[in-house]
Amino acid sequence: MVETTKLGPWVKRFLLEHLVTDRNLSANTQRSYRDTLVLLISFVVKKTHRQADQLLVSDVSPDLVRQFLLDLENSRESSISTRNQRLAALRSLACYIGLQSPEHITWSGGIRSIPFKRFTKSQVPYLEKPEMDALLAQPNRRTMQGQRDYRVLLFLYNTGARASEVAGLCIKDLDLARGSGRALSSVIFLGKGNKRRRCPLWPLTAAELALAIDGRDPGEHVFLNRLGQPITRFGIHQLVKRYVQRIAQDRPLLLAKKVSPHVIRHTAGTHLLRAGVDINTIRAWLGHVSLETTNIYAEIDLLTKARALALCEPNPPRTPKRREPKAGLMSFLHSL
């Protein structure tokens, strides 16, 4: 008889079968779900004083889940957005168990009825063009590491790619123009939901990448660390942070923007919009699933709003010419 009361077997089936086979979620999303369950189970173990392998599905009560979510905000200082993301993973697990096990339908409904917390979205940060230029000018390109860092920053800005996409980029994903007959270079990304997209590259970016991959195997990663291993997402975050700190003394506003690879992604989207690129092209460029996500750039860009406002600004009213009073009869006669 299949054990249905224990939590452990359900968690394993959920992570190894449902997320991979049924939903075909990306590796990053699978890791996010896993991390949520690690945090939850650790919390429930402390509260129930049971071993993790002995936990029952019913031990994860709706009330305990609410306590867990509150603990995320208070103890771990998680944002409301992160709190809601964790809840979404738990609701997905509850839905899966409820569909597979009728005796847990009531429990499943209790978990799924826990509401997401509303919050006010903060303004999306991005860099102005002079700030981005200053960041690109920081790496010392006379050194091997400086050349690598410059290429990473330039590539992030050119493509608006996610840090994970840059870390996982292989040489075979690049299509660099060779000779004068072909002027367009591009790169293929495997983004969220295992969706592929092609992004054009500037000639400058293509030239820098050509130097970086010259003579290397197509299966190798494009960007390597100092040990010759593929650079990680953490390494890219540290790279950006390091150069931002260098220029923050002259540009203190950068510290308030908390510049990260994702801020450079927002910068690319905002600058594309300013350049007149339509919103659907930007959506495809950045690999957004929903156009609503891309619309944030239209919301945040004050310069584009000002230009749009100027286009519909009414012309100032004309000042009516002062009409001279008609001359009287006697004045007319005297003028003859």
Number of domains in the chain: 2
- Are residue 42 and residue 133 in the same domain, yes or no? no
- Are residue 164 and residue 257 in the same domain, yes or no? yes
Paired tokens of 220: 């190798």
Confidence of residue 311 (pLDDT cuts 50, 70, 90): very low
Q: Is residue 174 part of a domain?
A: no
- Are residue 88 and residue 135 in the same domain, yes or no? no
pLDDT for position 299:
61
Res 308 pLDDT > 60: no
User: pTM value?
Assistant: 0.67
Rg of the chain, C-alpha, whole Å: 29
- Are residue 41 and residue 101 in the same domain, yes or no? yes
At 125-159, the pLDDT tens digits run: 889 899 999 999 999 999 999 999 999 999 999 99
Among residues 68, 86, 112, the one where a domain terminates is 112
Helix (H) or strand (E) holding 174: strand 174-175
User: Which residues, 6+ apart, have CB-to-CB distance to 154 below 8 Å?
Assistant: 136, 204, 205, 208
- Are residue 69 and residue 142 in the same domain, yes or no? no
Contact 16, 33 (CB under 8 A): no
Indicate which residues carry an active-site annotation.
162, 192, 262, 265, 288, 297
| Cβ-based neighbour number of residue 45 at 10 Å | 15
Q: Is residue 245 part of a domain?
A: yes
Annotate 26-43 with three-state secondary structure.
CHHHHHHHHHHHHHHHHH
Domain of residue 40, CATH code: 1.10.150
Domain of residue 266, CATH code: 1.10.443.10
Region of poorest pLDDT, from 90-99, 142-151, 308-317: 308-317
At 47-88, the pLDDT tens digits run: 999 999 999 999 999 999 999 999 999 999 898 989 999 999
Q: Is residue 276 part of a domain?
A: yes
Q: How far apart are CA 36 and CA 71, in angstroms?
A: 13
- Are residue 239 and residue 265 in the same domain, yes or no? yes
φ, ψ for residue 230, nearest 5 deg:
-55, 135
152 or 299, greater pLDDT: 152
Task: Determine the residue type at 326.
Answer: K
Q: Is residue 157 part of a domain?
A: yes
At 107-120, the pLDDT tens digits run: 999 999 999 998 76
Q: Is residue 250 part of a domain?
A: yes
Q: Is residue 203 part of a domain?
A: no
Q: Is residue 33 part of a domain?
A: yes
Range of the domain at 293: 129-169+219-311
pLDDT for position 201:
92
- What is 265-284 written as a DSSP string? HHHHHHHHHHTT--HHHHHH
Q: Is residue 117 part of a domain?
A: no
- Are residue 60 and residue 151 in the same domain, yes or no? no
